[in-house]
Amino acid sequence: MALVWSRNFSRSDAVFIPARHRRAGSNGLPMKGSFVMSIFRIAALLLMTFLMSACSNLTPAANLTNRQWQLIEINGQPPVVTDQPLTIEFHATNQVSGFAGCNGFSGKYRLEGLTIAFSDMISTLIACADNAISAQEAAFHGALAATTGYELADGELRLLDGDGMVLLRFRAP
């Protein structure tokens, strides 16, 4: 058995601690370095946990914005081929813009978790020469109006209705 001294103890407060249960420096007192390392490790773990949770909360919006997403499916069907691909782009300023087949469009969007809402949508008014493209453009705008959620997976953006059905599927080139 060893007598452990501390500057905070008097002789009457001395405690016997078996040598195998104490970590001590050459003076018999606990090593300050191991305590400091323990505090450092705890602080590092807390910092890593904070950073990982902060990044996971930002990832969806960060992956969604400032990319031009090209439409690859509308209501379960491939889009009608046009001169220009149908697109949507989400800007960090909560503005959305794109091309719907004959006309450009823009408006606002709001994200809350995995829900999304579009508002104040406007479009140019160029008449489509092809009825199929005109019908697709109307379906595209209708799908945006019905969208309540989204998924980002496998390099795709999926816009969903209230039942979780995929309305529009996009891929970033």
Domain end among 14, 30, 58: 58
Task: Please tell me the predicted confidence (pLDDT) of residue 57.
Answer: 41
Considering the domain architecture, whether residues 138 and 71 belong to the same structural domain is answered as yes
8 A C-beta contact, residue 141 and residue 123: yes
For the chain, the average pLDDT equals 82
pTM: 0.65
Q: Are residues 116 and 132 both part of a single domain?
A: yes
Which runs of E-coded beta strand occur in the chain?
A: 2-4, 15-17, 68-74, 87-90, 95-99, 104-112, 115-123, 149-153, 156-160, 166-171
Residue 126 or residue 57, greater confidence: 126
Q: Are residues 48 and 93 in the same domain?
A: no
What the block records as the tokens of 130 is 């092809």
Q: Are residues 44 and 81 in the same domain?
A: no
Are both 31 and 75 inside the same structural domain?
no
Q: Is the pLDDT of residue 92 over 60?
A: yes
pLDDT at position 118 is 97
Quote the number of domains for the chain: 2
CB-CB neighbours of 105 under 10 Å: 20
Mean pLDDT of 34-41: 69
Confidence of residue 14 (pLDDT cuts 50, 70, 90): low
Same domain flag for 50 and 118 = no
* Domain ranges, residue 6: 2-58
Cα of first residue to Cα of last residue in the chain, in angstroms, is 72
Same domain? For 76 and 54 the reply is no
Q: Are residues 15 and 73 in the same domain?
A: no
Q: Is the pLDDT of residue 164 over 80?
A: yes
- Which range, 8-12, 80-84, 126-130, 136-140, is most confident? 136-140
